[in-house]
Structure 1
Amino acid sequence: MSATIAGLLTGLVLGLAAAFGGFGAFLVVAVLGGLGLLVGRVLDGKLDLSQFTDRERR
């Protein structure tokens, strides 16, 4: 299992645990799932965030 899938599943499970039920819970799960997906893609090296964290800007 790749870190992307693990991050997505972790975000979804945490979202379900944090907000169980209703449309608001759906939104929370969607946001946390997306964050988990982003973290997983960064850990897999498929998403490069260095352009946002580069201290030497011109």
Structure 2
Amino acid sequence: MNRTALATVVGLVLGWAVAFGDFGKMLIVALFAAIGYVIAKVISGDIDISPYVSGRRDHR
């Protein structure tokens, strides 16, 4: 899915959230959309989070 299609889908989802809810619900939908986007980037390998989740392995 290219960026234009992704942006269109996100815009539609946020529009539905505003139409049938309030601004707070739209922010919740936007937050979950952003979390889903980051998870997709991690799974596809575009973002490397290993330095953040590997922990400290400095033994003395």
The interval holding the TM-score normalised by the smaller chain is 0.5 to 0.7
Q: 1:30 & 1:39 partners in 2: Cα distance?
A: 14
Q: 1:53 & 1:31 partners in 2: Cα distance?
A: 21
Identity of aligned residues (%): 28
CA displacement, residues 7-29 of structure 1 (integer Å, 9 cap, x when unaligned): x96xx6xxx5xxx5110111001
Q: 1:32 & 1:24 partners in 2: Cα distance?
A: 13
Normalised to the residue count of structure 2, the TM-score between the two structures is: 0.58
Q: CA RMSD in A?
A: 2.8
- Give, as a single letter, the amino acid of the residue that structure 2 aligns with 1:32: F
Moved over 2 A (4+): none
User: Structure 2: which 5+ runs fail to align?
Assistant: none
- Structure 1 residue 52 corresponds to structure 2 residue 52: yes
Normalised to the residue count of structure 1, the TM-score between the two structures is: 0.60
Number of aligned positions between the proteins: 47
Partner residue, 1:22:
22
User: Structure 1: which 5+ runs fail to align?
Assistant: none
